Amino acid sequence: MGGVPPPGPSDEEIIQQNVAYVLANRNRIYDHQKGRLDAVGVIEVTISERLETIHDHRAVYGRQPSPWSRDVVARLRHEVKLMEEALRRLRVLGVTSDSPLALQLRRERENPLPTVRALVAPTVKRYRSGKFRKQAAVLLDTEKLLPGVDSGKIRTELMKIAVMTKLSAEPLNLSLTAGWGRAGQNGVTMPGKGRLETRGYTAEEAGQASSLSAHSVSKDRLEACPTLLLGSATHDVFLNESACWRNVPEKVWDYTIGGYQVMKKWLSYREHALLGRPLTPDEAREVTHMARRLAALILLQPELDRNYQAVKAATTGL
């Protein structure tokens, strides 16, 4: 029969169980991946591993952890608290570990060395690496319109990218029929070859170079290759025979995230035969927005690279 599961042991009971286990096995030696440990040493190492996991969560999620990460960290902190109380009671009883590893871990907890984050904080602040990390995060958040990229006054270097273009006198046709996707077995969508035409930039499209100097590319290199950052060629990506997204730079088109070519993957799921309808105007604009965001990410790379080199040079020898 179903019912409310019995409550687990209380914190006090868990602490007492740990103390009792160590007292009953104080002479037993365990083969741990970090060395041979006695019962107290096992607890010392377990605490250290929990603290490392907490540190990793902080490094990955920063000040805005996910609910799942908050739950994991809270549970780990609680476990550490219980194990440290068990160790305190064992020390009162005169039971400690003679393991060199346990002694080292205890010293590190009681007299922690400065973290790498603390050592490089002045340098990181000086070079503002966090600023660029936040810019990249905003560009990847497609749920929010980004002024200058897909809303408001568009940045000069992005204005001519992925412009929806009608190729006939007929009304604009938004049916995606260029063969970007097809139905595979068991309902799996398979990518198709599609249709795109590769060409050089027009003078107007290449004019975006005047704005690229803000992205740490020298003027002489820009004059030699105006579209240096986005690739030496561009594509017209077709919806059908009468419409295309004009001027999708090759590095934007080839951009991958998680092993997938971003724009091509998006198109493959919206072929008319799969979707059962034409694209909406908002969906067609989404391709333009997507291309401009990817271009903005690529244009950010030289500054990110320069910032990384500056931080690396300033922290060498720590």
Q: Give the tens place of pLDDT for each residue, 56-107.
A: 777 666 667 778 888 888 999 999 999 999 989 998 888 887 777 777 766 6
Among 6-10, 49-53, 92-96, 272-276, the range scoring the smallest mean pLDDT is: 6-10
Question: Helix crossing, 281-315 with 116-127: angle to 10°?
Answer: 120
pLDDT on residue 161? 95
Among the listed residues 252, 251, 287, the one whose alpha carbon sits nearest the alpha carbon of residue 178: 287
Mean pLDDT of 193-221: 69
Do 167 and 245 share a structural domain? yes
**Boundaries of domain holding 297:** 132-315
Rounded to two decimals, the pTM is: 0.55
For residues 107 and 154, membership in a common domain is answered with no
**Dist. CA 269–CA 60, nearest whole Å:** 31
Question: Do 122 and 314 form a contact (C-beta atoms < 8 A)?
Answer: no
* DSSP assignment of 137-149: HHHH-TTS--BTT
Residues 273, 275, 278, 282, CA torsion sign: negative
Residue-level pLDDT at 314:
66
pLDDT score of 250 = 95
Looking at the structure, do residues 305 and 183 belong to the same domain, yes or no?
yes
Q: Are 82 and 175 in a shared domain? A: no
Q: What is the pLDDT of residue 251?
A: 94
* Residue 29 shares a structural domain with residue 151: no
Could you tell me how many residues make up the chain?
318
